């Protein structure tokens, strides 16, 4: 009886081992799978607006040039010299990005090139405007310093 | 409740930045009137806003449109920004020359 009892115990582990052997079998198709790694070669364009960009980037300073160029106008109105500073910075950033685009037109998006161009032109206009006002200020200040009496009469005349 | 709308605008009207050029020389600078104009616009008074400073409304439109353009990337956006910007510059210049000729600088 004891032999009979032992034999089933021996058989059971064999069955388990068979079951374990049967489990690796489903892995084999997965092992055969590695023939399909090409998905790694898919480069999806991340965050592109138009969807037509093939790995194209935005120009680095286009947005900054545009925003600075527009801020330059109120700045030129408030304190004169800030408009000149912002306008010149926008002009330089815009012109630099335009050069970058012209060296590698395929690398950057066209919309950012247009933004850089607009930023450059806005910067130019703001620079010219604030330079004009600074010249007027300097003339008024020079006049007030050299001829204080004339300046007082001028102000009284305007009142 | 901490900032009722009307009292906040009134408070803002009493605490505008004073133009350094005007405080020193008594003559308006090309930007004088912009804050009063924006304040009038907040109160909903378009004609008063235009009288204080004619370039305010196009300027605010320009800033808002630029923000929207940078988000949504319109095709005509950059071109329109350039045109409006040039228009604003011309309006400011004409406004200042008009002020000089009509003796409104003080």
Q: Which of B89, B59, B20, B51 is nearest to A137 (CA)?
A: B20
User: Can you tell me the distance from the alpha carbon of A13 to that of A6, in angstroms, rounded to the nearest whole number?
Assistant: 11
Count other C-beta atoms under 10 Å from residue A102's C-beta: 9
Q: Dump pLDDT digits (tens) for A17-32.
A: 444 444 444 444 444 5
Evaluate whether A143 touches B103 at the Cβ level (below 8 Å). no
For residue A43, name the pLDDT band (cuts at 50, 70, 90).
very low
pLDDT tens digit sequence for A101-135: 888 888 888 888 888 888 899 999 988 988 888 88
* pLDDT grade for A145, boundaries at 50, 70 and 90: confident
From B66, B75, B105, residue closest to A66, measured CB to CB:
B66
Cα A86 to the chain's mean position, in Å? 20
Higher pLDDT, B5 or A67: A67
Cα(A131)–Cα(A61) distance, integer angstroms: 24
Predicted local confidence at residue A41, as pLDDT: 43
Q: Is the pLDDT of residue A93 over 80?
A: yes
Closest CA of chain B from A55, distance in Å? 18
**Rg for chain B (alpha carbons), in Å?**
16
Nearest chain B residue to A127 by CA distance is B89
- Record the tokens describing residue A17, joined without a space: 């081992």
Q: Helix, strand, coil proportions of chain A in percent (round to 5)?
A: 80, 0, 20
Does A38 score more than 50 pLDDT? Answer: no
The dihedral formed by the CA atoms of A93, A133, B88 and B94, expressed in degrees to the nearest 10: -160
Identify which of A49, A118, A133 has the shortest CB distance to residue B81.
A118
The predicted pLDDT at position B6 comes to 63
Looking at the partner chain, which of B34, B63, B73 has a beta carbon nearest the beta carbon of A77?
Answer: B34
8 Å CB contact of B93 and A132? yes
The mean predicted confidence, pLDDT, of chain B is 83
Q: How far apart, in whole angstroms, are the C-alpha atoms of residue B37 and residue B83?
A: 22
ipTM value: 0.79
pLDDT at A139 over 60: yes
| CA A105/CA B28 separation, integer angstroms | 47
Please identify which residue in the block is written with the tokens 């803002």: B12
Q: How far apart are CA A111 and CA A106, in angstroms?
A: 12
């Amino acid at each position: 009886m004891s032999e009979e009892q032992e034999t089933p115990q021996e058989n059971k582990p064999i069955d388990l081992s068979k079951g374990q052997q049967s489990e690796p079998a489903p892995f084999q198709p997965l092992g055969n799978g590695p023939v399909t790694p090409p998905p790694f070669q898919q480069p999806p364009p991340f965050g592109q607006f138009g969807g037509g960009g093939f790995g194209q980037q935005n120009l680095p300073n286009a947005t900054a040039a545009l925003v600075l160029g527009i801020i330059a106008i109120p700045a030129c109105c408030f304190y004169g010299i800030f408009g000149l500073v912002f306008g010149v910075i926008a002009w330089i950033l815009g012109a630099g990005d335009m050069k970058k685009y012209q060296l590698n037109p395929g690398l950057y998006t066209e919309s950012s090139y247009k933004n850089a161009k607009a930023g450059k032109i806005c910067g130019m206009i703001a620079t010219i405007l604030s330079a004009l006002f600074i010249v007027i200020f300097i003339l008024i200040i020079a006049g007030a310093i050299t001829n204080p009496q004339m300046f007082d009469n001028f102000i009284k005349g305007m009142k | 409740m901490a900032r009722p709308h009307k009292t906040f605008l009134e408070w803002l009207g009493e605490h505008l930045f004073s133009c350094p050029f005007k405080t020193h020389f008594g003559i308006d600078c090309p930007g004088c009137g912009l804050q009063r104009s924006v304040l009038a616009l907040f109160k909903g008074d378009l004609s008063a806003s235009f009288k204080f400073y004619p370039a305010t409304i196009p300027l605010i439109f320009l800033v808002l449109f630029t923000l929207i353009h940078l988000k949504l990337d319109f095709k005509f956006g950059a071109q329109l920004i350039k045109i409006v910007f040039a228009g604003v510059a011309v309006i400011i210049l004409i406004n200042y020359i008009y002020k000089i000729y009509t003796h409104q600088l003080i």
